[in-house]
Amino acid sequence: MSIEPLFKTEVRIENKKMLYILTSQGNAITELRMIQLINDIDAMLNTFYHKDVSNIHLVFVVKEINIPSNFTLLDEFAQVFIKHREIILDKLQFTVLQNENNLFRMFFALFKKYYNPLKPLYLCKNEDEVQDCLHDQAKRHEFNEIMNQLKDDK
């Protein structure tokens, strides 16, 4: 019996950009699923080291999420990104988080206790906004850069 993952991952190239798109599957966040997600993210970040992989953009599509009450694995999740810090700084351009509500502001307010993103993290509400953020530099500045917003909330 396999574990249903938290995210489905798709990799594609659009306008000379390498897109890693992670789409939430709506499954409950359990310890086993978090461990699987941590391993999947680690494997994905390992692909960044390939010499032909460049101009990387991460897109997280999260329609709904139940924030877990147990945050024991949040530090391990953050450590995966810290482990790959140099390659993220070198090859990742920015990350886009697609979510229709501002639930993630609350999640990132907590998550920043463990990890601060190394590159910009934009919050978009739908696929059209994601496309604008990815491919239109002028429009990108219209979207919330979530970590700056959290700094302003202090």
Number of structural domains the chain divides into: 1
DSSP 63-121: S-----S--TTHHHHHHHHHHTHHHHHHHEEEEEEE-SSTHHHHHHHHHTTT---SS-E
91 Cβ neighbours under 8 A, 6+ residues apart:
48, 53, 54, 55, 56
Task: Kindly state whether residue 132 falls inside one of the protein's structural domains.
Answer: yes
pTM over 0.75? The answer is: yes
Query: What pLDDT shows up at residue 1?
Result: 66
CA distance 54 to 34: 27
Q: Which two structure tokens, joined as six digits, stand for 109?
A: 């307010």
Task: Kindly state whether residue 55 falls inside one of the protein's structural domains.
Answer: yes
Task: Kindly state whether residue 98 falls inside one of the protein's structural domains.
Answer: yes
Task: Kindly state whether residue 1 falls inside one of the protein's structural domains.
Answer: no
Task: Kindly state whether residue 124 falls inside one of the protein's structural domains.
Answer: yes
Task: Kindly state whether residue 141 falls inside one of the protein's structural domains.
Answer: yes
Task: Kindly state whether residue 128 falls inside one of the protein's structural domains.
Answer: yes
CATH code, domain with 110: 3.30.750
Splitting the chain (154 residues) into consecutive groups of 10 residues, what average pLDDT does each group show?
A: 88 95 90 92 97 95 71 83 95 91 62 72 89 92 70 48
Task: Kindly state whether residue 2 falls inside one of the protein's structural domains.
Answer: no
**Domain with 89 in it:** 7-152
